[in-house]
Structure 1
């Protein structure tokens, strides 16, 4: 599947921005979904079942069956399994209801033992009093030894109900769920039959100008939701089978019921396993004479959960749902509020659909930004944000995290230098205060030092004797010093002996203190795309200090692959400034890290300083004769 071209930054910022009308629209849609849940809930359930059955229908079609036959067979099979599941659960619940009174004495004895162990009255004593009260009420209602001395009860004559009233009392409560189930079945059948036409109508609704993007939305949404439902069902079945068998071996009543409920409850994100374990633990507490059954049940759920979460799920899930963990929890709360328990089960698939829409359709980008699991900022943007906040620990941690997957040179080229160029752009626009610039430069220098320490730890081999001695200086501002330190580190990794100095040393006294007679090459680094002529005139001043000294100018430029089409960002380097630097005597002029390193390491003689025209001097005015 080919990747969809990314949205431009300008388009992304305008489309993904949270505005008051957009928030009002979202609130209005949520209100409609809540009020009209009787309409939308069957549609949502039918849509997800259709997603899950779509691969079965496609497989039947490949076997040569007609479309109608394939749809009817898949639908009949699915709802037969659902009906059989419901029947077994209903039978098990009825059987459990009959057995519950027999557990009463065991529960009371256990609570009594807990109260005796605790000594004083506590929560358990109150539970004991409540259980005794319930027991006395039950004993008063049920016939027993005291029935002969019981007070006569008043007799109330009730007219017998006619058959129509009895039928109405039985049928009316079942009309709504039966009608909803029938509606879901009909919707599933027609969604599967009309899926090609529904796809075409969705494309026409979104727009035919970008069929590639719209088609990819449908393919990814169907693939993610369908694979999620089927894989989750398979994982839940693998989880529920040993749970049911284990509970049966432990002796927990109605083990089949708890196995089936575990299969369903694990569709609930994060808390499904806890809910599935709560009921068997209570029954194990109720039926066992000691605590062994409770401990065995807890151990069973813990072991199966660990194996499933750490081995089976990573093995079966080829890719995740594309939704962040926090978004899954928030969406579960939201959909449960709207549609109750069914909304809790449907929350993850519905959120997956919204994220896929937002990933490919600009109008829905808000959902991908809020709920997606992919970073919404580029690496250099995130790193710049850490630098801007002045948090050295966070910035260094981010750098170390990125260095696990890239070399130091790649980090400097694709992350650190682009982040500094963003800082220079903010400075040019007047939004970066001097205090922020100073703090940012300090954090940047600290991160470069931390990277140097990491590189020193990783390089166990002895370095060869350096052949070149190079000095890197910032051009004009504190952030230029950081870029010079980055270049110095890159040159040092290539085997050169490198010094890094601040832009504040570009004074006559500072340059004299540098003792450039022992240096082969000096490099001035500028983040400003149009450095002033006064800054470039340092070329002449430095070259005059030592004969044969090579001097390079680096005017950093954002890598082309990090520039989004139509995006506002650092201005490109002015070619006139490159030519001006050469005319002033620069031995090389570069705009990239690779070019600067390569040019600095060349063992070539320095270019002579070009001749300059003598300055014009004001002539002394002649005295009047």
Structure 2
């Protein structure tokens, strides 16, 4: 079984390097912000450029056309919002007076519950003796000082325009710089990709191309998903406000959609603005509370149900990583970092899949944890989390068979447990948890009787059992009889799952028998060697196939003797052994193959061999 190589451990050089990188990111943000923002926007506009190029438009005209279309869309949206804002601005005086009245009402209601406490404290102060010194009286006729107030001169029109220009010039200059960088990045898109591939080296060409494609695809999917979600959110809010009779519903819906592009803070800001506006136009509180409650419900549904699924699947990062990235980049680069936090994190996660130094970022921030189903089973079995294992297994079995579950999760997970047990890393309590988990999983997922829906009383498996496979076989025999079923069956209809009287072989045989019975095969598990007196010729004709676990090197001699006895007692049966990929200490093939008729590699192959009419998986 392939085991992923663990990432390098943290050490002093790596910590120092990371600290230097963070310092450079913080100190160089005036220069890095426009470059990174332009690079992220280029990933957004690049699909439009490629689409135009497919229609025969050359690279430069396609780039200019894409920028013009994007700019026209932004300008049109801005013009509509500006017209709505002008209309709202003309009504600000009356809205301001209404908001002041509402604020006074809220202050009065908030202070009323504490009035009795203040009155009690003042009453106690009056009863207490005054030990302080009295202020000296001012002599009669004394003149009081006259306060002097200094008022700045009224600004002239030129000063106002200069101040307005200084405020606007900064954002306009940065936007222009970003636009110029975006234009050149789009024009040099192919050249920049070739340079990065060349910089990575000839031996890393395929990995670099794949990383660049994954990053571009991930960021493009994120922006598209974000646009769809925010647009739907804005439409829902706008329609709801229009239904409530709130003026300028289009403005507030569009504002809600636009502000949601700023993670977390944007939704809070738009909600506060809508609440304040409805409070200003509502004589009472009914409309205000209704709109605020509706906004909160829609935001909670979108943020907790829609976005984690849509953004997680579209970006490849976990919902928690979205929050952490917004906090990190917002702290590091301010509003710009908050706006592009998710695309930057997507790029880092993609880079972590291909660059070993960044692999910890991919593990911590990626959508799916970098553990296999077998590793998750082993980790939960160590802590006795049987409920979580059964929940995941039930979901797995809805699309696959129990045989596949054993091949891909249960048996590889047990192989991990065996490897740690040999090195002494598993204590007694953890061994008990693993045994109990295996028994519960086998009994719950592949019960030994057909009454799977009935409630079953599970016996606790402790270290006294020492053999989970034998325990499971005893449960079957207690329900179905010594022969685990009737012997009045057609000839060559029984499949035996036999193994040496070892814990490993008993468990594998019992799991295989349950996987076969799930598919409708009359499978029964036994322990080798078979006694002569209980397996006469009449019973031998009932058996068609015997499955035997592949032997380990230290029991090869006993296994060979058991095979010879099987050949003698069941001369017409087909002997099949199953060698799982995780059997690292298995005996050599040349020592095993002469004693069996076939060597298979999985439970699914065994199921397909004896029951081809039953599909191995759904």
Deviations 1:285-330 (A, max 9, x none): 2331122312442465367658978999899999622111121122
Of 340, 343, 346, the residue aligned with 1:346 is 340
Deviations 1:213-272 (A, max 9, x none): 322222232222123224422442343245345435645466555334312222244664
Question: Corresponding residue for 1:35?
Answer: 27
Question: Corresponding residue for 1:120?
Answer: 113
CA distance in 1, matches of 2:396, 2:504: 21
Question: Corresponding residue for 1:482?
Answer: 507
Report matched runs for 1:279-294 at 5 Å: 279-294=273-288
Matched, 1:106 2:101: yes
Question: Corresponding residue for 1:139?
Answer: none
Task: Give how far 1:52 is off.
Answer: 1.7
Report matched runs for 1:228-307 at 5 Å: 228-244=222-238, 246-247=240-241, 250=244, 252=246, 255=249, 257-269=251-263, 272-298=266-292, 300-301=294-295
**C-alpha distance 77-123 of structure 1, shift in aligned 2 (>3 A):** farther
Task: Give how far 1:405 is off.
Answer: 1.4
Matched, 1:45 2:37: yes
Question: Corresponding residue for 1:532?
Answer: 555
Report matched runs for 1:145-160 at 5 Å: 154=148, 156=150
Task: Give how far 1:411 is off.
Answer: 1.7
Matched, 1:570 2:595: no
Report matched runs for 1:76-225 at 5 Å: 76-79=68-71, 81-82=73-74, 88=81, 91=86, 95=90, 98-108=93-103, 110-111=105-106, 114=109, 120-121=113-114, 154=148, 156=150, 169-225=163-219
Deviations 1:497-524 (A, max 9, x none): 54445x7xx69xxx77995559646968
Question: Corresponding residue for 2:603?
Answer: 593
CA distance in 2, matches of 1:298, 1:326: 26
| Secondary structure, aligned partner of 1:267 | coil
Question: Corresponding residue for 1:19?
Answer: 10
CA distance in 2, matches of 1:100, 1:238: 29
Task: Give how far 1:406 is off.
Answer: 0.4
**C-alpha distance 81-543 of structure 1, shift in aligned 2 (>3 A):** closer
Does structure 1 retain, via aligned residues, the 8 Å contact 2:446–2:518? no
Does structure 2 retain, via aligned residues, the 8 Å contact 1:590–1:596? yes
CA distance in 2, matches of 1:514, 1:497: 23
CA distance in 2, matches of 1:107, 1:451: 62
Task: Give the length in aligned residue pairs.
Answer: 547
Of 338, 349, 352, the residue aligned with 1:355 is 349
Question: Corresponding residue for 2:446?
Answer: 452
**C-alpha distance 158-281 of structure 1, shift in aligned 2 (>3 A):** closer
Deviations 1:320-357 (A, max 9, x none): 22111121122121111212232222111111112222
Alpha-carbon RMSD across the aligned residues, in angstroms, is: 4.7
CA distance in 1, matches of 2:297, 2:554: 66
CA distance in 2, matches of 1:262, 1:523: 68
**C-alpha distance 238-442 of structure 1, shift in aligned 2 (>3 A):** closer
Question: Corresponding residue for 2:63?
Answer: 71
Does structure 1 retain, via aligned residues, the 8 Å contact 2:403–2:512? no
CA distance in 1, matches of 2:316, 2:112: 53
CA distance in 2, matches of 1:86, 1:596: 66
CA distance in 2, matches of 1:251, 1:97: 19
Question: Corresponding residue for 1:621?
Answer: none
Task: Give how far 1:51 is off.
Answer: 1.7
Question: Corresponding residue for 1:614?
Answer: none
| Secondary structure, aligned partner of 1:374 | coil
Range with greater deviation from structure 2 (512-521 or 433-442):
512-521
Matched, 1:440 2:434: yes
Question: Corresponding residue for 1:564?
Answer: none
TM-score, normalisation: structure 1: 0.72
**C-alpha distance 53-589 of structure 1, shift in aligned 2 (>3 A):** closer
TM-score, normalisation: structure 2: 0.72
CA distance in 2, matches of 1:321, 1:547: 58
**C-alpha distance 424-26 of structure 1, shift in aligned 2 (>3 A):** same
Task: Give how far 1:26 is off.
Answer: 3.2
CA distance in 1, matches of 2:155, 2:304: 59
CA distance in 2, matches of 1:268, 1:513: 78
CA distance in 1, matches of 2:346, 2:277: 37
CA distance in 2, matches of 1:59, 1:19: 44
CA distance in 1, matches of 2:390, 2:365: 27
| Secondary structure, aligned partner of 1:209 | helix
**C-alpha distance 103-152 of structure 1, shift in aligned 2 (>3 A):** farther
Deviations 1:40-81 (A, max 9, x none): 222222112222222333344445555444434433453455
Range with greater deviation from structure 2 (50-59 or 401-410):
50-59
Question: Corresponding residue for 1:57?
Answer: 49
**C-alpha distance 457-39 of structure 1, shift in aligned 2 (>3 A):** farther
Task: Give how far 1:191 is off.
Answer: 0.9
**C-alpha distance 157-312 of structure 1, shift in aligned 2 (>3 A):** closer
CA distance in 1, matches of 2:363, 2:371: 10
CA distance in 1, matches of 2:611, 2:166: 89
Give ranges in structure 1 of 5+ residues lacking alignment. 1-7, 127-150, 560-568, 603-625
Matched, 1:556 2:579: yes
CA distance in 2, matches of 1:178, 1:325: 34
Matched, 1:385 2:379: yes
Deviations 1:1-50 (A, max 9, x none): xxxxxxx956x515x33432444433432232122222222222211222
Task: Give how far 1:199 is off.
Answer: 0.9
**C-alpha distance 182-546 of structure 1, shift in aligned 2 (>3 A):** closer
Question: Corresponding residue for 1:409?
Answer: 403
Deviations 1:354-387 (A, max 9, x none): 2222234444333322222234223233223333
